[in-house]
Amino acid sequence: MSATAVAAPAVHSLWTTAAAAPIHAPKIEYAQLSPILVVLGAAVAGILVEAFVPRRARYGTQLAVTLIGLAGAFAAVVGLAATGYATTKADLAAMGSIAVDGPSLFLQGTLILVTAVGVLAIAERGLEPQSREVPHVDAFAPQAAAVPGSEDEKAAARAGWSTTEVFPLTLFALSGMLVFPAAGDLLTLFIGLEILSLPLYLMCALARRRRLLSQESAVKYFLLGAFASAFFLFGTALLYGYAGTLDLGGIAKVVTGDAAPNAALNASAHGDALLLIGGAMIVMGLLFKVGAVPFHAWTPDVYQGAPTPITGFMAAATKVAAFGALLRLLYVALPEMRWDWRPVMWGVAILTMALGAIVAVTQTDVKRMLAYSSIAHAGFLLTGVIAGNKQGVSAVLFYLAAYSFVTLGAFAVVTLVRDAGGEATHLSRWDGLGRRSPLVAVTFALFLLAFAGIPLTSGFSGKFAVFSAAAKGGAVPLVVVGVLCSAVAAFFYVRVIVRMFFAEPRADGPSVAVPSALTGTAIAVGAAATLVLGVFPQWAFDLADKASVFIR
């Protein structure tokens, strides 16, 4: 009897207090969110272009809208950084949802530049064999349901159908990526994760050639990505049960005991099981996006199946965004837990470096080899994350900027080497490429040397930075493993170079397509960034160093 007497007013108060509590409209600092808003606005404009601009004019209009949007967003990032938001005026915008601070602005600027270069490769229409009937052919299926090479597809191409939706899709993915490293609470982080993932799943399925492989890769990416998202969301719920807040800074305060969790959660709050399991599940979701072992299984299949320009964009930009989010989560929300997460991350980093480098040796497909190489690089980046100091943050920021341009350039070169069946990605087809097309082979060799971390390339500067930060942070054994894995990785990079320059060219070997100015610019920017960040890295180190303080 007494139980019901107590329960009745409690239930009643649920309604009365909810109705009495005033709702405050949120305060949104639009200027501080302008990079994200500009990109989203350009994406929405791109949808309208798809709807109302005549078919023939769509491609040019889309390219212009996309590049103008990216330029505007980059100007917004530079403007925010110049007014001090990266250092002294760092702020939590939109009621703590978006952190506008050094790492955010550095990574957002990197992401926008990476996307601009990626869009150039995506917009390429001069590589496929052309005819008078079908003058412009890009890397994407004009009609997804039509069989490649069938009359249906030819008719679609003749009618001028093309998948210009990739431009707004790229911008939507970018907007999610801009939110991802800047998210100040777990729910915003999750929304960023979904906004960046969904367009990518779609873009993976768009390949004109080897369409079944492409669609298979999209399904695999989607299913595994959905699992990762579910893990992430479940972890978010558990951490909320622990701390009673979704704010990264708020969670940190509850961990250290500086703040009391929500009174309504007294029964569950301070349960270490919730904190450990929740934190682990969120980190698992992020490690999936990063492509770290044991959450790497999707990487080779998706990188191989997706249209190569999309692979380049995805490999570069997703890694930047996901490592930004991982850094913010570990350094802002869970720094006091580092004695719990560091041993686990040690294991993940060692496995990732070793498996990526060793399995890459056995690969016979260029795109799969680059995929395993990206897994190994995720491991190298994790050593910088584990460093646990300010130097580690700036080293990871620099590494991300350097690595993303190398990746974009390498995949852009892969689009050029073609035979009758499209891109010739089997490594044996690349024999003697250096004798036929020395310029392309030398450029690819430059990117491979940068992946291997040879001095005077950006790969060396980046690896040096993360390894020295990790050594300073007390992770010397990890650095030893990293250097050993770099040596293994150097073997298969150099093996490709040897094939290109010292093997006999095959009589039926692939030819190198002459790219238009678009892909040419993308490769040139990639090569220039590789050399500049390798020979004169100091200004970029200084920039990353200034930008390496998180706000909470």
Rank residues 5 and 82 by Cβ distance to another protein and give the closer one.
5
In 3D space, the residue among 485, 480, 318, 327 whose CA is nearest the CA of residue 394 turns out to be 327
Task: Give the residues across from 91 on adjacent strands.
Answer: 100
Shortest separation between residue 175's beta carbon and another protein, angstroms: 12
Rank residues 5 and 23 by Cβ distance to another protein and give the closer one.
23
How far apart, in whole angstroms, are the C-alpha atoms of residue 530 and residue 464? 15
How far apart, in whole angstroms, are the C-alpha atoms of residue 464 and residue 198? 35
Ramachandran angles phi, psi of 365, nearest 5°:
-115, 130
Residue-wise DSSP of 167-198? HHHHHHHHHHHHHGGGBSBHHHHHHHHHHHHH
Rank residues 7 and 480 by Cβ distance to another protein and give the closer one.
7
Rank residues 22 and 257 by Cβ distance to another protein and give the closer one.
22
Asked if residues 39 and 69 have their Cβ atoms less than 8 Å apart, the reply is: yes
Shortest separation between residue 27's beta carbon and another protein, angstroms: 9
Rank residues 69 and 409 by Cβ distance to another protein and give the closer one.
69
Rank residues 215 and 516 by Cβ distance to another protein and give the closer one.
215
Binding site for another protein (CB under 8 A): 22-23, 25-26, 44, 47-48, 50-52, 145-147, 150, 152
How far apart, in whole angstroms, are the C-alpha atoms of residue 420 and residue 3? 79
Rank residues 12 and 426 by Cβ distance to another protein and give the closer one.
12
In 3D space, the residue among 509, 523, 421, 525 whose CA is nearest the CA of residue 207 turns out to be 421
In 3D space, the residue among 56, 379, 209 whose CA is nearest the CA of residue 217 turns out to be 209
Rank residues 27 and 132 by Cβ distance to another protein and give the closer one.
27
Rank residues 12 and 89 by Cβ distance to another protein and give the closer one.
12
Shortest separation between residue 186's beta carbon and another protein, angstroms: 21
Counting other chains too, the contacts that 152-161 makes at CB distance below 8 Å and 24 or more residues apart are: 157/133, 158/133, 158/134, 159/55, 160/55, 160/56, 161/55
Shortest separation between residue 150's beta carbon and another protein, angstroms: 7
Shortest separation between residue 51's beta carbon and another protein, angstroms: 4
Q: Could you identify the residue written with the tokens 């996307």?
A: 115
Shortest separation between residue 143's beta carbon and another protein, angstroms: 8
Shortest separation between residue 45's beta carbon and another protein, angstroms: 9
Shortest separation between residue 50's beta carbon and another protein, angstroms: 6
Distances (CA, A) of 106 to 82, 84, 113, 401: 12, 13, 11, 9
Rank residues 146 and 292 by Cβ distance to another protein and give the closer one.
146
Shortest separation between residue 47's beta carbon and another protein, angstroms: 5
Strands (E), 301-416: none
Counting other chains too, the contacts that 502-507 makes at CB distance below 8 Å and 24 or more residues apart are: 503/431, 503/432, 504/431, 504/432, 505/431, 505/432, 505/433, 505/435, 505/436, 506/428, 506/429, 506/431, 506/432
Shortest separation between residue 322's beta carbon and another protein, angstroms: 26
How far apart, in whole angstroms, are the C-alpha atoms of residue 356 and residue 484? 12
Asked if residues 298 and 242 have their Cβ atoms less than 8 Å apart, the reply is: no
CA trace torsion 58, 63, 64, 67 (10° rounding): 160
Shortest separation between residue 147's beta carbon and another protein, angstroms: 6
Those residues whose C-beta lies under 8 Å from the C-beta of residue 34, and which sit 6 or more positions away, are 73, 76, 79, 80
Rank residues 45 and 325 by Cβ distance to another protein and give the closer one.
45
Rank residues 83 and 150 by Cβ distance to another protein and give the closer one.
150
Shortest separation between residue 241's beta carbon and another protein, angstroms: 14
Measure the N-to-C terminal CA separation of the chain; round to a whole number of Å: 49
